[in-house]
Amino acid sequence: MAGPLGKDLLGIAPLSADQIRLVLDTAVPFREISERAIKKVPTLRGATIVNLFFEASTRTRISFEFAEKRLSADTVNVAAAGSSVSKGETLVDTARNLEAMKIDMVVIRHSASGAARFLAERIESNVINAGDGTNEHPTQALLDMLTLRDRFGDLTGKRICIVGDVLHSRVARSNIWGLTKLGAEVAVCGPRSLLPNAIEAMGVTVFNRIEEAIEWADALNVLRLQLERMQAGYIPSLREYNRVFGVTGARLEKAPRDLVILHPGPMNRGVEIDSDVADGPHSVILDQVTNGVAVRMAVLYLLAGGKPELAEAAKKGNA
């Protein structure tokens, strides 16, 4: 049952600009469903979806679960700990066993780059990548792009800078693919030890100084700086990171224009972002979370073979 996105959503890299726009356009009517008192439409009634999370996740897993439930799908959550995975079962065996129970879709989060694709090539069900290693996190990038589009309209020529640990970030990779496809100018800014040294080949500009990035950009997408990176010796200390690369109110005050501030969460307040920015008037961080549910509803709907033009009807409960 391949819809306009194909069988699976494995990343943003394989999508065309039109496919990205289709998801964003489809998400808009779905967003309204979550505003209702009765937040449910029968679109995916009878469909069974497994949320297969091999890595800890709160926001993404709950967001997918809400999206599935609001479309009336039956959902099961599987976490790696306490499952057969902890008994040494391979990824492909786990998936085949689930599929033998006649499921329709798998949402997978896994620590290995390529894991979602690996799964998709071996099972019939639709596979949605909810984050694979340091490769891609496509629904996060889609919700980021929807949030930016809410603010800017067309993204052509808009300047988006991704700040922080790009080397280990699947969010960064998916955003770079998506934003460049939509015609935005993309830059990255962070410690050189946390940027891939072939990053320019991905079509982005590199800023060494956060001040330069702020002067250039229309929006900053601020990545989480994980404590493990300091422990692994990529940066000297979180303190120095905040002093050199932290997005602070004082720095933003010097910007030539109001910057839109995104963060995929969870935030380390006082490290990559200060509270006055996170909670400030230009932060769209909670809009991102709201849009996350709508984008995931759109992806589920389109992968299930839903017709884009029927999204409005689906909203009314007729599809």
Residues at the site binding another protein, with contacts judged by CB under 8 A: 13, 90-92, 110, 112-115, 117-118, 132-136, 170, 173, 196-199, 201-202
- 77 or 113: whose CB is closer to another protein? 113
**Pick 153 or 233: Cβ nearer another protein:** 233
Mark 197-225 as b/e (b = at least 16 C-beta within 10 Å): eebeebebbbbeebeebbebbbbbbbbbb
Nearer Cβ to another protein (82/233): 233
- Residue 162 near residue 142, CB atoms below 8 Å: no
Shortest distance in whole angstroms from residue 109 CB to another protein: 13
Return the number of the residue (196 or 308) whose C-beta is nearest another protein: 196
Residue 150 CB, nearest approach to another protein (Å): 28
Minimum Å gap between C-beta 115 and another protein is 5
State in Å, rounded, how far the first CA of the chain is from the last one: 16
Number of helical H runs and strand E runs in the chain:
13, 9
Nearest distance from residue 281's CB to another protein, in Å? 34
Question: Where do we find the tokens 């989480």?
Answer: 224
Distances (CA, A) of 282 to 36, 67, 192, 218: 26, 27, 27, 11
CB nearer to another protein: pick between 13 and 230:
13
CB of 112 to another protein, least distance (A): 3
Q: What is the 3-state secondary structure (H, E, C) of 121-165?
A: CCCCCEEEEEEECCCECHHHHHHHHHHHHHHHCCCCCCEEEEECC
The residue among 121 and 279 lying less far from another protein, judged by its C-beta, is 121
Minimum distance, C-beta of residue 83 to another protein, in the bound complex (Å): 16
d(CA 139, CA 107): 11
User: CB-wise, 117 or 229, nearer to another protein?
Assistant: 117
Give CA–CA dist 220/211, Å, rounded.
12
- Euclidean distance between CA atoms 68 and 89, whole angstroms: 27
Cβ–Cβ under 8 Å, residues 182 and 160 = no
Minimum gap (Å) between residue 228 Cβ and another protein: 12
